[in-house]
Chains A and B, each alone.
Chain A
Amino acid sequence: MLVFLLRRIAAGVVLVVVVATATFLLLSLTGTDVARNILGESASPAQVSAKAHELGLDQPLVVRYGHWIDRAVHGDLGQSWFTGDSVNQSLANTLPITLSIVLVGMLIALVLSIVLGTVAALRGGWVDRVVQFAAVLGTAIPSFLIALVLAVVMAVQLGLLPATGYVALGTSPSGWLQSVILPAVALAVAATAATAMQVRGALIDVLRADFVRTLRSRGLNTRSVVYRHALRNAAPPALTVLALQFIGLIGGAVVVEKVFGLPGIGTLANSAAVRGDSPVLLGTVVVTVTVVVAVNLLLDIAYGWLNPKVRVS
């Protein structure tokens, strides 16, 4: 198990480096004159070249890359070209917001998908068909469209919850929940739909397994057979799907943040993309991929914990 984890961590580090390098190269392809963009049309050519020198843009690509990676390894992701703000600081400000909505969304998806998948698998008949149909709709509709509907109906029309803004968990837990719940629900829909179908399928398969029949032959009641034994066996494949969904949730958060006016990492990435602020954009990519790797690692551990064949070997 330890060797397995170390290998996964190593693979994750390689992944982050590869993605960061690819992003760096891609952003260096930009044909536009960055220094000119920053200073505006009125700046003199001398000012522009001075700015370019200040940002290190006059150096060859390899040198710039080496410089960036050297600082990044030491935990410094550089400064914004436009505001001069530390990228680290910007990320530290925005990451908690994005993580809040994404992780609450994951939690909602986890709970709801188990409930819906189990009900569909056990009930069968029209309940099953309704859940399946809803799942098709749920996976298809983009999360930001759901976010728009939620924002307009729940916040603007009914005024039940705040439409925009973020309250830190430390400031007010209830305020935090209120500011996070609508975006989290919007993000959770697709993940719930996909995972619920996986839970349903896995549970149907497990309930047909020989050992379930044998457990029933021992006189164990349905509750124990289904909720203790069958669900436990159906959990690992569902977890795999949920891990894949997490990447989708992070992506969805970029747009959903805008709908709810949350200054999260997506908003940061968006404004950086519009301005062409490469260091900030690069920083958001690195952090996003790192979070994805970290969450996948956690889910790997959970997977191993649920699956004795991985844990005990």
Chain B
Amino acid sequence: MTVPETAAIPKRDRLLRRTLRDPVAVACLVILALVILASLAAPLLTDYAPDHSVLSDTLAPVSGAHPLGGDGVGRDVLSRLLYGGRTSLLGGTLAALVAFLVGGPLGLVSGFYRGWFDAAAGWIINVIMAVPAIIVMLVVMAALSQDLNVAMIVLGVIMAPMVFRLIRASVVSVREELYVDAARVSGLGDPRIMRRHILPVVVAPSVIQATQLFAVAIGIQAGLSFLGLGKASQASWGAMLNDGFTNVYTEPTLLVWPGLAMAVTILAASLLGNAVRDALGTTETRVVRRRRPGPRKTAAGGPSPSDRLLTVEGLRISYPKPGRSGGSDGSDGDKIVVDGVSLTVERGEVLGLVGESGSGKSQTAFAVLGLLPNEAEVTADQMSFTGKELLGVSQAALNALRGRGIGYVPQEPMSNLDPCFRIGSQLVEPMRKHLGISRSEARTKALELLARVGIPDPERVFKSYPHQVSGGMAQRVLIAGAVSCDPHLLIADEPTTALDVTVQAEVLDLMRSLQQEREMGMILVTHDFGVVADICDRVAVMQTGRIVETAPVEKIFASPEHAYTRMLLDSTLEGGPARAALGAPLKEVTS
């Protein structure tokens, strides 16, 4: 059996090409190349030795002999700048290299084998990272050597934990991947797995981190030599800064050259790393902000009957394809998820919105609540709640309606409560806002509600944090929250799907009794015809963004018109509640 090889080599090529397409990355590479060339060619560019001091050239002005003048003890500034570049580049490279030589293999082994080695390495690393690097460097330079290059090698060891952490994390995440399991099952040896499957994944983040370590090391080295450490014969930008700072009142330009050289080199390295990250596509998602287009109003809908709660006509929701920034609404590049949905809900009526996952039923529900993500483009001929327009109105107007006019019960109970706030405060806050009641009144009402939704110990749950209650309990809390401000319409998005089977029936009973006692209209989003039969008056069946059939619940079960409805019914009734995913649904029925 052959193991699928990761497409590592072409990927890396692509990364390089994509990086080179970024003008910032090219500029950084050019700058770094210039700095390296200038440092290497130092003997060609200047006749002076960097530590050759001529007393009469002390603070010499710019001249033909000294293109950048002389420093505080009569050394040529240009020469020191060029040779100092050697020290910086060599130091940065040494430190980054040592960090990878030490941290890389350790991280690889630690992440791959875990166990005691991993624990021990993690402990040592915490010790190293607790001490500021520069303090360690002071100790090391006092104890071992004043040579900056030796210091940079030690710095590499101190920075190794960062490499260790990165490599270890990458290895741990790859190790869990299925293809690595497959490779192991098929008998590939560990070294081979590491080389074939793990190294390729680690390369790109390593490049990014290498540029960062390089930049950090140059900064720390300059800091050390600025403090006066290091051998006097070693020209360095830090020592130049020190000299310039001593003469800051007489010749401040002495600070400019080394400062500029350092800043440019460090920034070029870090921006290069950043560009590689962008090319990798691991950059965090950009926050899209876009004005939502207003309603596409055609002929004004006739006056809605007084019992009509919700009217939706020709609702259309689309998302721009990733990578396209602009784009007019509805242009062909967009992904359309809801396409021309129309539905109504009467007072006291329960409408089931049924369909498979991805059919657009949840999107439709969120559109009514105005809770779609910012990048969604929503248009409709009409979308109104008790005669009030829902589309294109301000957030403030929507906020006045949400919770008060329309309540919402989510699907997954545990992720829908704010983990940082007590359950009580999450119930009290909306009531105080919508009903304008005092904290203690809201508290009383919240406790009543908790008792009403069947929570045996309301006081305790009121004071609890979400992680302290069970899923079924949390769902009851969310239902209590949804009805707390006496809404006329309840939108429930698969309210029982995430619950245990035993709890499902209870929660459904609760919702039905609440709906009847408060005469609420309700949209119940579900894929479960059992739930539909239990509670719904009318059913709208959705398929790929369209409503294919709307009918009273008895009729749907007795004589479904649309083939897709029949298929859904068959799969539910025969296969039980556990419904298999259907790849090509229509074909199965019609053939």
Binding site for B on A (CB under 8 A): 15, 18-19, 22-23, 26-27, 29-30, 120-125, 128-129, 136-137, 139-142, 144-145, 148-149, 151-152, 156-157, 200-201, 204, 209-211, 213-222, 224, 229, 232-233, 244, 247-248, 250-252, 254-255, 258-259, 269-270, 272-274, 276, 278, 281, 284-285, 288-289, 292-293, 306-309, 312
B241 in contact (CB, < 8 A):
yes
Chain B residues contacting A233 (CB-CB under 8 Å) are 418-420
Report A260 CB to chain B, min CB distance, Å. Answer: 11
Chain A residues contacting B130 (CB-CB under 8 Å) are 15, 19, 247, 289, 292-293
B465 in contact (CB, < 8 A):
yes
Q: With the chains together, A276 CA to B141 CA distance in Å?
A: 9
Chain B residues contacting A247 (CB-CB under 8 Å) are 129-132
Given A142-B222, A219-B402, output 14 extra A-B contacts at Cβ < 8 Å.
A19-B131, A22-B127, A26-B143, A29-B144, A148-B255, A204-B287, A211-B415, A216-B399, A222-B395, A254-B132, A254-B223, A272-B138, A274-B229, A285-B139
Task: Tell which of B132, B410, B415, B433 touches A288, judged by Cβ atoms closer than 8 Å.
Answer: B132
Q: Are B229 and A255 in contact (CB under 8 A)?
A: no
Q: Are A142 and B252 in contact (CB under 8 A)?
A: no
Q: Are B267 and A140 in contact (CB under 8 A)?
A: yes
Q: Are A142 and B220 in contact (CB under 8 A)?
A: yes
Q: Are B127 and A156 in contact (CB under 8 A)?
A: no
Chain B residues contacting A145 (CB-CB under 8 Å) are 219, 222, 241, 259, 262-263
Q: Are B227 and A232 in contact (CB under 8 A)?
A: no
- Given the known interface contacts A145-B263, A211-B417, A273-B142, the answer about A204 and B255 at a Cβ–Cβ threshold of 8 Å is no
Task: Tell which of A124, A139, A217, A289 touches B131, judged by Cβ atoms closer than 8 Å.
Answer: A289
Nearest A residue to B242 by beta-carbon distance? A258
In the complex, 30 of the A-B residue pairs with CB atoms within 8 angstroms, ordered by the A residue number, are A19-B127, A30-B143, A137-B270, A141-B267, A144-B223, A145-B219, A211-B415, A214-B481, A216-B402, A217-B369, A218-B402, A218-B403, A218-B408, A218-B485, A219-B404, A221-B433, A229-B418, A232-B421, A248-B132, A254-B135, A269-B135, A270-B138, A272-B142, A273-B139, A276-B142, A284-B135, A285-B139, A288-B135, A292-B130, A308-B467
B434 in contact (CB, < 8 A):
yes
B65 in contact (CB, < 8 A):
no
Task: Tell which of A204, A229, A269 touches B138, judged by Cβ atoms closer than 8 Å.
Answer: A269
Chain B residues contacting A244 (CB-CB under 8 Å) are 129
Chain B residues contacting A251 (CB-CB under 8 Å) are 132-135
Interface majority SS (helix, strand, loop, mixed), chain B? helix
B245 in contact (CB, < 8 A):
yes
Chain A proximity mask over B305-320: 1 for CB below 8 Å, otherwise 0:
0000000000000000
Chain A residues contacting B416 (CB-CB under 8 Å) are 210-211, 213-214
Q: Are A307 and B420 in contact (CB under 8 A)?
A: yes
Report A223 CB to chain B, min CB distance, Å. Answer: 10
Q: Are B420 and A281 in contact (CB under 8 A)?
A: no
- Given the known interface contacts A136-B271, A148-B259, the answer about A124 and B286 at a Cβ–Cβ threshold of 8 Å is yes
Report B307 CB to chain A, min CB distance, Å. Answer: 24
Task: Rank and list the top 7 A-B pairs by shortest CB-CB distance, nearest first.
Answer: A124-B287, A251-B132, A142-B219, A219-B403, A217-B408, A140-B270, A219-B402
Nearest A residue to B366 by beta-carbon distance? A213
Which residues of B331-377 have CB atoms within 8 Å of chain A's CB atoms?
Answer: 366, 369, 371
B102 in contact (CB, < 8 A):
no
Binding site for A on B (CB under 8 A): 126-127, 129-135, 138-144, 212, 215, 219-220, 222-223, 226-229, 241, 245, 248-249, 252, 255, 259, 262-263, 266-267, 269-271, 274, 284-289, 366, 369, 371, 395-396, 398-404, 406-408, 410, 412, 415-421, 426, 429-430, 433-434, 465, 467-468, 478, 481-482, 485
Q: With the chains together, A157 CA to B248 CA distance in Å?
A: 10
Q: Are B418 and A215 in contact (CB under 8 A)?
A: yes
The interface centre, meaning the residue of A217, A220, A222, A255 with most chain B CB atoms within 10 A of its CB, is: A217
Chain A residues contacting B465 (CB-CB under 8 Å) are 308-309, 312
Nearest B residue to A203 by beta-carbon distance? B287
Chain A residues contacting B139 (CB-CB under 8 Å) are 23, 26-27, 273, 281, 285
Chain A residues contacting B408 (CB-CB under 8 Å) are 214, 217-218
Chain A residues contacting B135 (CB-CB under 8 Å) are 250-251, 254, 269, 284-285, 288
Report A152 CB to chain B, min CB distance, Å. Answer: 6
Chain A residues contacting B407 (CB-CB under 8 Å) are 217
Q: Are A148 and B138 in contact (CB under 8 A)?
A: no
Nearest A residue to B284 by beta-carbon distance? A201
Nearest A residue to B221 by beta-carbon distance? A142
Q: Are A148 and B245 in contact (CB under 8 A)?
A: yes
Report B285 CB to chain A, min CB distance, Å. Answer: 7
Chain B residues contacting A307 (CB-CB under 8 Å) are 420
Nearest B residue to A292 by beta-carbon distance? B130
Q: Are A219 and B284 in contact (CB under 8 A)?
A: no
Q: With the chains together, A145 CA to B221 CA distance in Å?
A: 12
Q: Are A136 and B274 in contact (CB under 8 A)?
A: yes
Q: With the chains together, A273 CA to B139 CA distance in Å?
A: 6
- Given the known interface contacts A140-B267, A220-B433, the answer about A232 and B420 at a Cβ–Cβ threshold of 8 Å is yes
- Given the known interface contacts A141-B263, A152-B255, the answer about A255 and B468 at a Cβ–Cβ threshold of 8 Å is no
Report B167 CB to chain A, min CB distance, Å. Answer: 18
Q: Are B433 and A121 in contact (CB under 8 A)?
A: no
Q: Are A210 and B430 in contact (CB under 8 A)?
A: no
Q: With the chains together, A289 CA to B131 CA distance in Å?
A: 6
Nearest A residue to B422 by beta-carbon distance? A308
Chain B residues contacting A229 (CB-CB under 8 Å) are 418, 420-421
Q: With the chains together, A255 CA to B241 CA distance in Å?
A: 12
Chain B residues contacting A306 (CB-CB under 8 Å) are 420
Task: Tell which of B142, B144, B266, B430 touches A281, judged by Cβ atoms closer than 8 Å.
Answer: B142
Nearest A residue to B285 by beta-carbon distance? A204
Q: With the chains together, A139 CA to B267 CA distance in Å?
A: 10
